[in-house]
Structure 1
Amino acid sequence: MVKQQVVLPGEVVPMPDASQAKLLRLGPGLLQTDKDIHAVQAGLVTNNPVGNAWWISNSKKRYIPAAGEPVVGTVTGRSAEYYRIDIGSAYPAQLPVLAFEGATKRNRPNLAIGTVVYGYLASASRGMEPEMSCVNAKTGEADGYGELKGGFITKCSISLCQRLLDPRTPILALLAARLPLDVAIGLNGRVWVASKTIRGTILAGNAITNSEFLSPKQCETMVDQLCTTMKL
């Protein structure tokens, strides 16, 4: 299995079994052409065995929207048909007012400017505003998407957000074992965290941000120290 291989744009990324290339889930930075998979970004080839997902991990700061990716954003404008959502990309996302579970023309959410929402990108094209949705297209239900109340957003590197979605990343499990915690992870470099207390929320946000370059053991030590210092 290929792990942490450094690639440059245009290079062919070798996979364990080319015959299974169609079964791979390609994430940001990878593009399949005929039988080969090419890198379109410089960085490290990373693999998550859960779902056989592959992507390029790097330290880019500007988010490039990609269809299907979960995002955390803030309402910056509204019209009769759409909300405009800041997701940290070159263009804001459009969120239809009916793209919520159970929303109708007479019964739809009324989101104020500054409201934090969690959803996924239903469509994204270069040079155009991406469209966001808060309804799972397969189930027709919210499945965790929608307005996020309370808590706060912490900005992280996109590579850290990608790792947080990997169940092997220990920091979220370590925090959940010490305090009640709600987390929404966006692949646009934004993580929303909320706990029962402001102190717990701040602790969780700082721990997640500081965990990027720590080993599992170092993460455990950091969480213990933070909880002791803040008496949690």
Structure 2
Amino acid sequence: MSPKVGGVKILQVVLPGDEVLQFNPDGNRECIFIGPGLRWQENIIFATRSGVLKKTSQNLYYIDNHQKRYIPQKREFVIGIILKKNSDNYIIDIGGSEKAKISLMVFENSSKKTRKEMKPGDIIFGQVLVANKDIEPELVCIDVFDNSVGIGALPEDGIMFSIPLHVARMIVNPDNSFLLTISKRIKFKIVVGFNGRVWLKAPRQSDMLAVMNCLLMLEVMPLKEAEWNVFRMIDSFSVKSRN
């Protein structure tokens, strides 16, 4: 039986070129999704990078490794920083090798008269619409019904910091209760991008620092050990704030 951590099954260690899954075109197939590190070709899914093959409860397969630079993937949600405005687009840093862009018209209720105005340094939460090695990534901040559904410009009264990509994927998994454990002591709002960036807001600065350090524990500790140390970490920042 495959080990399961935070609702994610750990399947096997793979290398580039390894065959991960194979399907019979005439047989019954389960509906699956493939994520970073995998490629579909002629009913076979191959690994494109080395790492640990994992599967979520929603049948999403992906390869997890300690990659530092983000490689944009279509439909992933990311946090970007506005760099400048260029004609009808904003140029955005999403942590990849290439800068991304987003049209001024892909915001909720946006028109030529009411389009969103942002300035360099503003933080934005969007979804990758185009991810191709030959062209720059493109983001969008609305769904197919032209609704923002929680994506768009993020408020200025929060803090943003970075975590490893594998940690970001771990905590956005709906089966992972780590954030719920933290919320038993601290009320906070959080936005996590698949590019390893986190936007966080809490009532007090000490609360934000406590949550940030709880998440950073996942870089050096297994999930269970980090959960055991959550309240100790939060209490340590509560003592510092009183002194």
The TM-score normalised by the length of structure 2 is: 0.87
Partner of 1:123: 130
* Distance (whole Å) between structure 1 residues aligned to residue 188 and residue 177 of structure 2: 14
| 8 Å CA contact retained: 1:15, 1:21 | no
Partner of 2:153: 147
Deviates more, 1:191-200 or 1:34-43: 191-200
Q: 1:182 to 1:16 in 2, by over 3 A?
A: farther
* Distance (whole Å) between structure 1 residues aligned to residue 97 and residue 208 of structure 2: 29
Residues 113-163 of structure 1: CA deviation (Å, up to 9, x unaligned): 1001001111111032111011122x3211110111121222111111111
Gaps of 5+ in 2: 3-8
Q: 1:126 to 1:21 in 2, by over 3 A?
A: farther
Deviates more, 1:14-23 or 1:93-102: 14-23
Secondary structure in structure 2 of the residue aligned to 1:230? helix
* Distance (whole Å) between structure 2 residues aligned to residue 227 and residue 72 of structure 1: 26
* Distance (whole Å) between structure 2 residues aligned to residue 63 and residue 42 of structure 1: 15
Partner of 2:6: none
Instruction: Compute the displacement of 1:208 (Å).
Output: 0.8
Secondary structure in structure 2 of the residue aligned to 1:196? coil
| 8 Å CA contact retained: 1:170, 1:216 | no
* Distance (whole Å) between structure 1 residues aligned to residue 22 and residue 213 of structure 2: 36
Query: What is the identity, as a one-letter code, of the residue corresponding to 1:162?
Result: R
| 8 Å CA contact retained: 1:31, 1:37 | yes
* Distance (whole Å) between structure 2 residues aligned to residue 136 and residue 106 of structure 1: 21
Give the % identical residues: 26
Partner of 2:53: 45
Secondary structure in structure 2 of the residue aligned to 1:205? helix
One of 31, 36, 39 as aligned partner of 1:23: 31
Is residue 63 from structure 1 mapped to residue 70 from structure 2 by the alignment? yes
How many residue pairs get aligned? The number is 230
Secondary structure in structure 1 of the residue aligned to 2:132? coil
Gaps of 5+ in 1: none
Partner of 2:15: 8
Is residue 88 from structure 1 mapped to residue 95 from structure 2 by the alignment? yes
* Distance (whole Å) between structure 2 residues aligned to residue 159 and residue 175 of structure 1: 19
Query: What is the identity, as a one-letter code, of the residue corresponding to 1:229?
Result: S
Instruction: Compute the displacement of 1:53 (Å).
Output: 0.7
Residues 14-70 of structure 1: CA deviation (Å, up to 9, x unaligned): 379985656211000111112211001110001101x21110000111111111111
Secondary structure in structure 1 of the residue aligned to 2:135? coil
Partner of 2:105: 98
Is residue 167 from structure 1 mapped to residue 165 from structure 2 by the alignment? no
Instruction: Compute the displacement of 1:220 (Å).
Output: 3.0
Is residue 186 from structure 1 mapped to residue 189 from structure 2 by the alignment? no
The TM-score normalised by the length of structure 1 is: 0.91
Q: CA RMSD in A?
A: 2.1
Deviates more, 1:94-103 or 1:173-182: 173-182
